[in-house]
Amino acid sequence: MKNILLTGGAGYIGSHVCHLLIDQGYKVTCIDSLITGNKELLPKKVKLEIFDIAEKEKVNELIKNNNFDLVMHFAGLIRVDESVEQPERYNDFNYSKAKIFLKTCYENGLKKIIFSSTAAVYGNPKTEKVKETDPTSPLNPYASSKLELENFIKETSKNYNSKYIILRYFNVAGADEKMRTGLISKVSSHLIKIASEVVVGKKDKLIINGDDYNTPDGTAIRDYIHVSDLAEIHIIAANYLINGGESNLFNCGYGNGFSIKDVISELNKIINKDLKTIVGPRRPGDSEMIVSNVEKFMKYFSWKPKYNNLNYILKTAVEWEKKLKS
């Protein structure tokens, strides 16, 4: 039985990965400080350790007492808008603390890592579909903190002989089919989350952040991937590393670009009415258009997504929001 350590496993993406790992018979331990995570999202079989990833002694002890095959590092702060207001905090959580944690792992012989990075490292790409080899140009402190940790992971792999897979997530959305977990946030900043909150009456309207972008309908374009497909990508990457695979970096998306207005019109079809929207100013740090070229991962692992459908992504997001409301 493979033994996996996760940080930030009580968060949105981490909890989906925990459920899939448990479903597939893995042994799972999760470190989470619960500052943004929710322990009720975790499967019962996951061993939860509540402390900060930068608490070296506790991490040391945990790794020494368990024979982990691999670590998945999800822990971090994720709001672009908040990072613009609190750059030091984002650098501290996403880079400085993570560095301390990873060094502790390496020093204790835990040298296989999967890191949750972001497509935001590309900034405003020059190409219609962005490849892993395209230049990076972060537009906000959140993206910069992720890129810095990517570079740290790459640079230290030589000294520690560690192996890594860096996954650059595009826009993750939707919820577990069985509704065991989904996105819970005190302050929502994801378009599909906020739109779902409007659908169930938690918010009264959706603010479109800018309609003057240089895109066909003036609104920003994103590549949405269902969280359950992203969870599967993690398990494929984990098995590859555990079985002796080499370090690599992959985009995680579907390669389809949808504008904010596209998403709203698809949602309107599902709810059979028009969602109440108003146009607001652009958000600082937002990219105009970011769509993935996903050929690399798909070819490398002969992988095909199961949930590549905007309608399904939106339906599961709305169902989850209804569950939270009830």
Q: Please give the mean pLDDT across all residues of the chain.
A: 96
Q: Determine whether 312 is an active site residue.
A: no
Nearest to 307 by CA among 250, 235, 242, 225: 225
Domains annotated on the chain, with CATH: 3-173+223-252 (3.40.50.720), 191-222+255-289+307-325 (3.90.25.10)
Structure confidence by residue, pLDDT tens digits, 144-183: 999 999 999 999 999 999 999 999 999 999 999 999 999 9
Nearest to 321 by CA among 175, 205, 206: 175
Share above pLDDT 90 across residues of the chain, in percent, rounded to a whole number: 93
**Which residue among 95, 106, 142, 213 is the active-site one?**
142
Structure confidence by residue, pLDDT tens digits, 66-84: 999 999 999 999 888 889 9
pLDDT at site 88: 96
| Region of poorest pLDDT, from 22-36, 175-189, 312-326 | 175-189
Please give the model's pTM, rounded to 2 decimal places.
0.96
